[in-house]
Amino acid sequence: MFKAMSLLLVLAAITGCQSLTRPGDFDSPIVGVRCMVLAGKKPFERGNLLYIKSYANYGNPKCKAMLGKMYQEGGYGVDQDFSKARALFVEAAQLNPSSNVLLGGMAERGEGEPADYAKARAFYRLSGKNAALPLGRLMEEGKGGPQDLAGALAVYLEAVEYFGDDAWKAMSRLHKQGQALDEVQAQRYQQIWMTGFVRLQQSRLAVREVFEAVNATGATWKVTLSYRFKADSGVPQVTMIERSGDANVDDWIMKAASRITMQDSGPLTDESGEREIRAPLVFSPQDTRYMFGLCGRKPCS
């Protein structure tokens, strides 16, 4: 019995007592979000620091990262300490590679050690898509390696989550400056752009005036709109090439469609420098009643 107990104590010493006592939710994303909220809460409360420290010690990657940021910045109940911050970021990155962006930032700014742009690039690459913007910026500026505009564009485009996000804007900026897209990149560009366009059209046409005009007739109406874009312009020329037959319905649809703009991002065009998109649309009273009945005054998305 004594030998068995001794073995248990040795095992606890090796693995750490926390592994035997940490709560079941120690690695929960919800706990991580709570650590993130508490880390920025003002005024400072010591209980919040103790909570973050506890779950960081238990092994929650987000809590480790937040505790590291507190040491990185100082003033949150702890003194600024780049060594502790870096150690915590390393531990967080071992659990969640996306935390490598924090190590990349420290390397780029030279916090606690000389700035090292090459090391920063390496950490940003390990972090993945969430570090696309700082990685692409270093590639554009030629810091930590050769200037690589084509590579930066590829990094931005791969990181795009939806039309108009920050990665899209960075990619679009380089493209407008003359950086070409290869065939695969062009396909991805068009897919993201078209998805954004369809969603924008749905939101712009989902207005009360259009639905009230349709509901007033009690009938289903079909129209076809033509959007003609010019190269490097996200503002289309809109025409109705097939009308519904009801002037009031057509008028409100055209007024809503005229608000559609993709800002400064146009679709890719052919040698003519133009691209036409035709959109057949159907509006029915049953659909609009369902939308307003379920979502109140705001149409469902």
Task: Convert the pLDDT of each residue in 127-144 to its tens digit.
Answer: 999 999 999 999 999 999
* pLDDT value at residue 1: 45
pLDDT tens track for 78-135:
999 999 999 999 999 999 999 999 999 999 999 999 999 999 999 999 999 999 999 9
Q: Average model confidence (pLDDT) for the chain? A: 88
Report cis status (omega within 30 of 0) of the bond before 43: yes
Angle at 223 between CA 217 and CA 228, to 5 degrees: 145
pLDDT tens track for 244-272:
999 999 999 999 999 999 988 999 998 89
Using a pLDDT cut of 70, give the percent of the chain over it: 88
* pLDDT value at residue 285: 83
CA distance 131 to 167: 10
* pLDDT value at residue 44: 84
**Which CATH topology does 200-295 take?**
3.30.1150
Cβ atoms of 86 and 106 within 8 Å: the answer is yes
* pLDDT value at residue 211: 85
CA distance 169 to 171: 5
Secondary structure of the chain in HEC code, one letter for each residue = CHHHHHHHHHHHHHHCCHHHHCCCCCCCHHHHHHHHHHHCCCCCCHHHHHHHHHHHHHCCHHHHHHHHHHHHHCCCCCCCCHHHHHHHHHHHHHHCHHHHHHHHHHHHHCCCCCCCHHHHHHHHHHHCHHHHHHHHHHHHHCCCCCCCHHHHHHHHHHHCCCCCCHHHHHHHHHHHCCCCCCHHHHHHHHHHHHHHHHHHHHHHHCCHHHHHHHHHHCCCEEEEEEEEEECCCCCCEEEEEECCCCHHHHHHHHHHHCCCCCCCCCCCCCCCCEEEEEEEEEECHHHHHHHHHHHCCCCCC
Does the pLDDT at position 20 exceed 70?
Answer: no
Residue 88 structure tokens? 């915590």
pLDDT tens track for 173-222:
999 999 999 999 999 999 999 999 999 999 999 888 888 888 888 899 89
Q: In whole angstroms, how far apart are CA 157 and each of 133, 187, 192, 220, 237?
A: 10, 11, 10, 40, 27
CATH 3.30.1150 in the chain: give the residue spans: 200-295
* pLDDT value at residue 287: 59
CATH 1.25.40.10 in the chain: give the residue spans: 97-180
**Which CATH topology does 97-180 take?**
1.25.40
CA distance 275 to 198: 15
Q: What is the mean pLDDT of residues 68-74?
A: 95
Residue 264 structure tokens? 């400064």
Q: What is the mean pLDDT of residues 164-172?
A: 97
* pLDDT value at residue 286: 65
